[in-house]
């Protein structure tokens, strides 16, 4: 039997990096094949080459034993290659059926297609309403649309690019069941991820990439997480130091925060209660799009509240204060979008440091003290091991992980009483992620209060003292990490706690049963 | 009185028609995510080319076709510059308008005081003689009927056909469209050319029907109003139509007011259609949710397939 897909010597160079260097990869029919690697290892480039979105500089591709040139995505789809993107390729203002009809070449009306959508989606346990508009759907539902859209094309190779980063643990189980079923029907799956335990649970084979090269080939079912990690990062997984918490007085108190969405595609917040004490890290878990963005703008001061006492910062009613006033009280904030909100892309690192740390002696009599600004930026680069040309490098020139280290370092250098950080390690390589987590723990140990919003459950369990869950704009009560588990958090993430008792508190499902 | 009202209605439609053509064409262009600010220039080139061809060939309909071709040719320049060479759409569109204004004045120099036989209203014998309804239904110029047919066709195309769906998808997210195998650049080329041809048609209507003559800058800003119409109409064809006739109606009203000797400088009266159209449309189009649902999200942004 000839392999479904065989890549030999695939090479792709960009201006100054070799994204893929002589990569060989063989996928058999019915095989779930993992491509494992850190961010920047070349996984995405390789997938884009297979899907025809990027042309390789060298190398050959054989499809079912026949050499092919995949010039564009349309050609890939005609061959039978489907791809579910990490950042979805859906059209928000259109309905599910319209989105799917667009991808199918021989379909004219979405009406007759609706039945097929219902049929296929139910068969694979991915229920969908064809008439809903995509912008009303959760991220998990959108992924379902992408998958069903691929399945309707009856693909023989399905590429999944980091599919679980947006799913609850329960949804991940469902997805895996779907993929296993597809594989038994003869469809091959290329599964892109950096999550070792998922790959060990799901995949028949793994190809490991590091720095654009294949560094290993294995059966992940017979490997341990640390042996896979060695192949992936060329060393041991870094561990963080977690000391016992000594929580002090309340630093941030949120009472009955209700906020209408400022955007048609946004989420309204309702009745959010939350407190963070000195010397503790509180985590907020949840699938993105459940109100995290709105909560962050409400806490940072980008959107002010009507009542001053909705948000209390270090004993001061701060609800009506803007971002600058709240920062003056001792708040530091690291938003989810690094370029654009966390840093100005075109400005130098020094100028970006000035933007939030100007209170650190950088301004005298309305004049900027350039030396102080540069020193602060240079010190941040040194302390946090940021890989950058220097304080004059533009923020845009840094990789995601390095920029995040710089932004967090810039905020920590202001010795905040409260640090609010959204998605601290999103798109950051394993080594830098461990460093960032350690920095957050260190701030906590020095008596700082930290609020972390993240989609990575493993990360939250690693660093947090208490955990709350946001779902559909509501926040569950924060619970000590030791008293909960991933399964319970996963249930809460899917919004199962919308019941309240007599005192207006949310009731949570009992995890012991 | 009744006759007077009917005449006004006829004239309103006549005055709004160039805007209907130009704005509907621009709507299709923008729905694909391309902002072509060159409408004024394309209308003028369409007007002058149509006029020249009609006078030399003695065939007004050949003139109409030539006007469309002229507008499309100018838009092709824009398409090459912005879609193939990835130039900034706003700057290129403004340049296109200025270029079209100058070019039309230049090639029209010898035709400024030439008289032409306008395209006549359809005269199906007897039909317009039916009281009231007759003139309203059958008394229009053929190009007015064409504009209404164009409106119906675009409405149907955008909401009912697969090609229309593809066009909207490209305008909303070219990256997603490319990822599922839609040829974004080809569709945008077609949309820009269609917009150019429609603007040229609007110009041809001005120089062959509305005021059968050629004068430098004879569109007097209608291209810019067409652009504003599309935005304030939230990219909905029927609102474009309504806005165009509002403009036509107020144009007429201010002519009447001038004729009756209203104590206002004529310059102020001449401003009225522009101000009224923009104010009314701005007021009825403030709903952010409606805008988000209808506005092409990628409007004005260049698209590179790789990257």
Q: Where do runs of H (alpha helix) occur along B80-183?
A: 89-107, 133-138, 142-160, 162-172, 174-179
B160 part of contact set with chain A, CB < 8 Å? no
Q: Phi, psi (5° rounding) for residue A104? A: -105, 125
Q: Are B225 and B279 in contact (CB under 8 A)?
A: no
* Domain spans, chain A: 5-233, 239-330+416-513, 341-414
Q: Do B176 and A83 touch (CB under 8 A)?
A: no
Q: Are A145 and A100 in contact (CB under 8 A)?
A: yes
Taking the C-alpha atoms of residue A451 and residue A420, their distance in angstroms, rounded to an integer, is 5
Closest CA to A338 of A407, A439, A266: A407
Taking the C-alpha atoms of residue B44 and residue B50, their distance in angstroms, rounded to an integer, is 10
Q: Which of A74, A149, A264 has its CB closest to that of B293?
A: A264
Strand bridging mode A269-277 / A250-259: antiparallel
Taking the C-alpha atoms of residue A423 and residue A452, their distance in angstroms, rounded to an integer, is 7
3-state secondary structure of A281: strand
Domains of chain B with bracketed CATH: 2-294 (1.10.3470)
The pLDDT value recorded for residue A504 is 47
Q: Phi, psi (5° rounding) for residue A273? A: -115, 135
Q: How many helices (H) and strands (E) does chain A have?
A: 16, 23
Q: Phi, psi (5° rounding) for residue A504? A: 80, 15
Contacts of A112 (CB under 8 A, 6+ apart): none
Q: Are A229 and A250 in contact (CB under 8 A)?
A: no
Enter the tokens of residue A328. Answer: 């003056």
Chains A, B: CB pairs < 8 Å? 68
Q: How many helices (H) and strands (E) does chain B have?
A: 13, 0
Closest CA to A240 of A429, A413, A439: A439
Closest CA to A123 of A182, A63, A69: A182
- Maximum distance among all Cα pairs of chain A, rounded to whole angstroms: 78
Q: Which of A51, A91, A265 has its CB closest to that of B176?
A: A91
Cβ contacts of A45 on chain B, cutoff 8 Å: none
Count of CA atoms in the C-beta half-sphere (13 A) of B99 = 16
Q: Are B226 and B59 in contact (CB under 8 A)?
A: no
Q: What is the ipTM of this complex?
A: 0.76
B180 part of contact set with chain A, CB < 8 Å? yes
Q: Are A407 and A343 in contact (CB under 8 A)?
A: yes
Q: Which helix (H) or strand (E) holds A433?
A: helix A430-445
Enter the tokens of residue A309. Answer: 């006492």
Cβ contacts of A105 on chain B, cutoff 8 Å: 181
Q: List per-residue pLDDT tens for chain A, 513 residues long.
A: 789 999 999 999 887 778 899 999 999 999 999 998 877 788 888 998 999 888 999 999 999 999 999 988 888 988 999 888 766 678 888 889 888 888 887 666 666 788 888 888 888 777 888 888 888 776 677 888 888 888 888 899 999 887 776 677 777 888 899 899 999 999 999 998 877 888 899 999 999 998 889 988 899 999 887 888 888 887 777 777 777 777 889 999 999 999 988 766 678 898 999 999 999 999 999 887 788 889 999 999 999 998 889 999 999 999 999 999 999 999 999 998 888 888 998 899 999 999 998 888 888 888 889 999 999 999 999 998 888 888 999 988 887 778 999 999 999 999 999 999 998 887 677 778 888 999 999 999 999 999 999 888 888 999 999 999 998 899 999 999 989 888 888 888 877 664 545 454 545 444 333
Cβ contacts of B165 on chain A, cutoff 8 Å: 94, 98, 101-102
Q: Are A409 and A386 in contact (CB under 8 A)?
A: yes
Q: Which of A51, A54, A108 has its CB closest to that of B162?
A: A108
Polymer length of chain A: 513
Taking the C-alpha atoms of residue A42 and residue A209, their distance in angstroms, rounded to an integer, is 7
Looking at the complex, report in whole angstroms how far the Cα of residue A75 sits from the nearest Cα belonging to chain B: 8
Looking at the complex, report in whole angstroms how far the Cα of residue B119 sits from the nearest Cα belonging to chain A: 40
Taking the C-alpha atoms of residue A468 and residue A249, their distance in angstroms, rounded to an integer, is 19
Q: Phi, psi (5° rounding) for residue B272? A: -50, -50
Enter the tokens of residue A406. Answer: 């710089």
Strand bridging mode A479-480 / A466-471: antiparallel
Q: Do domains A5-233 and A239-330+416-513 have the same CATH topology?
A: yes
Taking the C-alpha atoms of residue B226 and residue B94, their distance in angstroms, rounded to an integer, is 14
A92 part of contact set with chain B, CB < 8 Å? yes
Cβ contacts of A91 on chain B, cutoff 8 Å: 168-169, 172-173, 176-177
Other beta carbons within 10 angstroms of residue B187's beta carbon come to 21
Polymer length of chain B: 307
Taking the C-alpha atoms of residue B73 and residue B60, their distance in angstroms, rounded to an integer, is 20
Q: Do B169 and A91 touch (CB under 8 A)?
A: yes
Q: Which residues of chain B have pLDDT under 50?
A: 307
The pLDDT value recorded for residue A109 is 63
Q: Do A264 and B173 touch (CB under 8 A)?
A: no
Closest CA to B39 of B66, B15, B19, B63: B19
B82 by Cβ neighbours in 10 Å (0-12 / 13-18 / 19+) ranks as: buried
3-state secondary structure of B34: coil
- Closest Cα in chain A to B170: A91
Taking the C-alpha atoms of residue A132 and residue A148, their distance in angstroms, rounded to an integer, is 14
Enter the tokens of residue A404. Answer: 């995040």
Cβ contacts of B179 on chain A, cutoff 8 Å: 51, 53, 73, 83, 85, 89
Question: Which of 3.40.50.2300, 3.40.47.10, 1.10.10.60, 3.40.50.300 would CATH assign to domain A239-330+416-513?
Answer: 3.40.50.300
Which residues lie across from A160 on neighbouring strands?
A: A84, A191
Taking the C-alpha atoms of residue B39 and residue B76, their distance in angstroms, rounded to an integer, is 13
Q: Which of B179, B292, B293 has its CB closest to that of A53?
A: B179
Q: Phi, psi (5° rounding) for residue A365? A: 50, 45
Q: Which of B180, B182, B306 has its CB closest to that of A54?
A: B306
How far from the centroid of its chain's Cα atoms is residue A442's Cα?
Answer: 23
Helix, strand, coil % in chain A, rounded to nearest 5: 35, 25, 40
- Interior/surface letters A143-163, b for 16+ CB within 10 angstroms, e for the rest: bbbbbbbbbbbebbbbbbbbb
Q: Tokens 């474009």 map to which residue? A: B240
Q: Which helix (H) or strand (E) holds A36?
A: strand A32-36
Contacts of B121 (CB under 8 A, 6+ apart): B128, B139, B140, B141, B142
The pLDDT value recorded for residue A511 is 36
Strand bridging mode A18-27 / A5-13: antiparallel
In B170-252, at which residue ranges do the beta strands (DSSP E only) sit? none
A5-233 architecture in CATH?
Answer: 3-Layer(aba) Sandwich (3.40)
Taking the C-alpha atoms of residue A27 and residue A190, their distance in angstroms, rounded to an integer, is 8
Q: Bin A346: left if φ > 0, else alpha if -120 < ψ < 50, else beta.
A: alpha
Taking the C-alpha atoms of residue A98 and residue A139, their distance in angstroms, rounded to an integer, is 18
3-state secondary structure of A61: strand
Looking at the complex, report in whole angstroms how far the Cα of residue B234 sits from the nearest Cα belonging to chain A: 14
3-state secondary structure of A256: strand
Contacts of A452 (CB under 8 A, 6+ apart): A281, A282, A283, A284, A421, A424, A440, A460, A463, A464
């Amino acid at each position: 039997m000839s392999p479904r897909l065989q890549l030999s010597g695939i090479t792709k160079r960009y201006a100054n990096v070799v994204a893929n260097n002589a990569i060989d990869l063989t996928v058999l029919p019915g095989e779930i094949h993992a491509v494992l690697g850190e961010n920047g290892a070349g996984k995405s480039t390789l997938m884009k080459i297979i899907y025809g979105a990027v042309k390789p500089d060298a190398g050959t591709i054989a499809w079912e034993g026949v050499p092919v040139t995949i010039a564009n995505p349309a050609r890939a789809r005609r061959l039978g290659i489907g791809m579910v993107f990490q950042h979805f390729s859906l059209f928000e203002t259109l309905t599910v059926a319209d989105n799917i009809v667009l991808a199918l070449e021989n379909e004219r009306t979405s009406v007759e297609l609706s039945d097929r959508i219902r049929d296929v989606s139910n068969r694979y346990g991915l229920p969908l309403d064809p008439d809903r508009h995509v912008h009303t759907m959760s991220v998990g539902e959108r992924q379902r649309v992408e998958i069903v859209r691929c399945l309707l094309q009856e693909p023989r190779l399905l590429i999944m690019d980091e599919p679980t980063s947006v799913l609850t643990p329960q949804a991940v189980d469902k997805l895996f069941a779907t993929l296993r079923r597809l594989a038994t029907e003869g469809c091959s799956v290329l599964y892109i991820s950096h999550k070792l335990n998922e790959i060990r649970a799901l995949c028949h084979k793994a190809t490991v990439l590091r720095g654009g090269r294949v560094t290993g080939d294995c059966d992940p079912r017979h490997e341990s997480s640390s042996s896979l990690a060695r192949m992936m990062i060329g060393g041991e997984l870094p561990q963080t130091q977690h000391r016992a918490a000594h929580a002090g007085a309340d630093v941030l108190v949120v009472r009955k925060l209700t906020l209408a969405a400022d955007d048609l595609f946004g989420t309204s917040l309702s009745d959010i209660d939350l407190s963070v004490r000195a010397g503790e890290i509180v985590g907020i878990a949840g699938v993105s799009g459940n109100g995290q963005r709105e909560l962050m703008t409400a806490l940072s001061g980008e959107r002010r509240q009507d009542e001053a006492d909705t948000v209390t910062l270090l004993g001061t009613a701060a609800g009506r204060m803007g971002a600058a006033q709240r920062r003056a009280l001792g708040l530091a904030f690291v938003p989810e979008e690094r370029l654009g909100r966390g840093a100005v892309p075109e400005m130098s690192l020094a100028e970006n440091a000035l933007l939030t740390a100007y209170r650190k002696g950088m301004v005298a009599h309305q004049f900027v003290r350039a030396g102080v600004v540069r020193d602060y930026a240079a010190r941040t680069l040194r302390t946090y091991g940021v890989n950058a040309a220097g304080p004059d490098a533009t923020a845009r020139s840094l990789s995601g992980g390095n920029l995040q280290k710089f932004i967090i370092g810039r905020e920590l250098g202001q010795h905040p009483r409260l640090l609010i950080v959204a998605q601290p390690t999103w798109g950051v390589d394993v080594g830098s992620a461990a460093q960032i987590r350690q920095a957050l723990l260190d701030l906590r140990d020095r008596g700082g209060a930290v609020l972390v919003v993240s989609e990575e459950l493993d990360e939250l369990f690693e660093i947090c003292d208490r955990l709350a869950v946001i779902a559909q704009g509501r926040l569950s009560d924060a619970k000590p990490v030791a008293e909960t588990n991933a399964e319970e958090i996963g249930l809460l993430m899917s919004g199962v706690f919308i019941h309240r008792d007599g005192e207006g508190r949310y009731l949570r499902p009992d995890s012991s049963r | 009185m009744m006759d007077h009202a009917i005449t006004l209605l006829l004239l309103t439609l006549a005055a709004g028609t160039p805007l209907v053509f130009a704005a509907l064409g621009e709507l299709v262009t923008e729905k694909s995510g391309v902002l072509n600010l060159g409408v004024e220039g394309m209308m003028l080139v369409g007007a002058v080319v149509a006029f020249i061809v009609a006078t030399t060939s003695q065939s007004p309909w050949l003139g109409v076709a030539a006007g469309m071709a002229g507008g499309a040719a100018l838009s092709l320049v824009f398409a090459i510059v912005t879609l193939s060479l990835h130039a900034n759409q706003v700057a290129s569109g403004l340049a296109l308008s200025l270029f079209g204004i100058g070019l039309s004045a230049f090639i029209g120099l010898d035709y400024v005081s030439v008289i032409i036989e306008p395209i006549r209203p359809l005269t199906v014998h007897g039909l317009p003689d039916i009281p009231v309804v007759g003139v309203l239904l059958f008394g229009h110029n053929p190009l007015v009927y064409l504009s209404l047919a164009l409106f119906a066709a675009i409405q149907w195309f955008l909401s009912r056909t697969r090609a229309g769906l593809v066009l909207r998808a490209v305008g909303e997210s070219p990256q997603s469209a490319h990822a599922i195998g839609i040829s974004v650049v080809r569709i945008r080329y077609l949309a820009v050319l269609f917009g150019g041809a429609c603007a040229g048609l609007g110009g041809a209507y001005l120089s062959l029907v509305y005021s059968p003559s050629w004068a430098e800058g004879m569109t007097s800003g209608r291209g810019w109003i067409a652009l504003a119409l599309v935005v304030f109409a939230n990219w909905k064809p029927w609102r474009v139509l309504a806005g165009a006739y509002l403009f036509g109606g107020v144009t007429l009203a201010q002519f009447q007011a001038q004729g009756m000797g209203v104590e206002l400088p004529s310059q102020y009266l001449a401003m009225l259609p522009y101000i009224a159209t923009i104010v009314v449309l701005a007021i009825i189009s403030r709903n952010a949710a409606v805008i988000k649902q209808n506005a092409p999200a990628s409007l004005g942004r260049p698209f590179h397939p790789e990257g």
